[in-house]
Chains A and B, each alone.
Chain A
Amino acid sequence: MQFKRPKTIKDTQTHYCPGCGHGIVHRLVAEVIDELGLREKTIGTAPVGCSVLLYNYFDCDIIECAHGRPPAVATAIKRCQPDKVVFTYQGDGDIAAIGTAELIHAANRGENITAIFVNNAIYGMTGGQMAPTTLIGQKTTTTQNGRDRKKQGPPLKVCELLASLEGVAYLQRVAVSTAKDVIIAKKAIKKAFQNQLDGKGYSLVEVLSMCPTDWKVTPKQAVDFVNNEMKAAFPLGVYKDV
């Protein structure tokens, strides 16, 4: 068996840290775009956060958005070009803190776009501050004694939040911390793109992912953290499938 680079991924090294999950998620998205033959009709949006530079790795049209605004930008692109495929790729700060309004309303309007949400429970690019999805008790540079439910509230659960919205077509939470999880993640991402081709409306895949650098653990410990802690706080599964 030959392990080839997807056509939608450029032949270059990434800036991601060892053990980071973004590389896996990038590859899965690129494989799906390849398999569905969408590279030449796809427009992706880049968020603010570690994956802002995803245009250095994806070989398709990309627009870099202001922090949290990809759902609004993608809304307009898809409305103006309904025959094209539009995806957003956002981290937890982008989608669940500063961009909450744009997320909820794009989803509720049922915009026919595909959203990839990478949840690693921390602000990576800025150096490890608390994210809206940081776990209770998790230490970050702005919750140095651990996230306190009374002060910072519990982690925000995007799939559960969006599941109540009638406009949403598909929601699934997956992980990339085991081989089996990666296979499930790819199927979910493919379905989220296929839904757009079928005109079903807003589809979002939340991916639990590793950030060993800002969690201050080894890559192996980061995988364990996803499997043991994150999956408990953010149960995997399909939250909506219309």
Chain B
Amino acid sequence: MLEIRHLRKSFGPLVAVDDVSFAVERGRLVGLLGPNGAGKTTTVSMIAGLLTPDRGDVLVGGARLAGDTDPKKRRIGLVPQDLALYDEMSARANLRFFGALYGLSGAALDKAIASALDLVGLADRIHDRVSSYSGGMKRRLNLAAGLLHDPDILLLDEPTVGVDPQSRNAIFDNLELLKSRGKALLYTTHYMEEVERLADRIVVVDHGRVIADDTLAGLQSRVAGVGGGRATLETVFLTLTGRSLRD
């Protein structure tokens, strides 16, 4: 569904992403892991069309994504790390606006809003201003905004930052459901347990390069666990990326 081929992006002398390639299949969730500054967000930004790659391609359903108005962008939904919502407007007004950006209007838009809010459990707060929402509710609405136009591919950039366990669990349930509906999900996070629970495949990047692309079991088989048991993902991650602090 989503294929990344040899992506490269530099900012002046800094090479943020260098020759990154991986793929996300239908009904699968790929966890994109890496320390701070590893190139995760830059990679997601290039896939979403926020940044133009210096080199390489993003393929959606086998076709190369090109330009701001490429209709294939409709097949991608972005859930950014920031709570990208208008606090001064209601949930409905926010979703009406974001839906219209994808050409949705009238009854189709209303149906999409109802469906997205229903999925994230906010249907009863549809008319409330976002400023009155809790942090967890805002995170769920952030997810709903990315899902509104029913994309085939969902890019989730640390979607559970600052969320209480209940909301986090609700988001996980939503993602499981989306997977079961055949969506391809790319998920970046610093929380190893989230990836352990959700990911079918894990891509680890560091210094802008892919250093591992495997299943959880495959990664665990590379590193010996404590007392000869199975290594945790965190142990695997620290083994692959090192223990030096990243800023």
A and B interact: no
Q: Which residues of A contact B (CB under 8 A)?
A: none
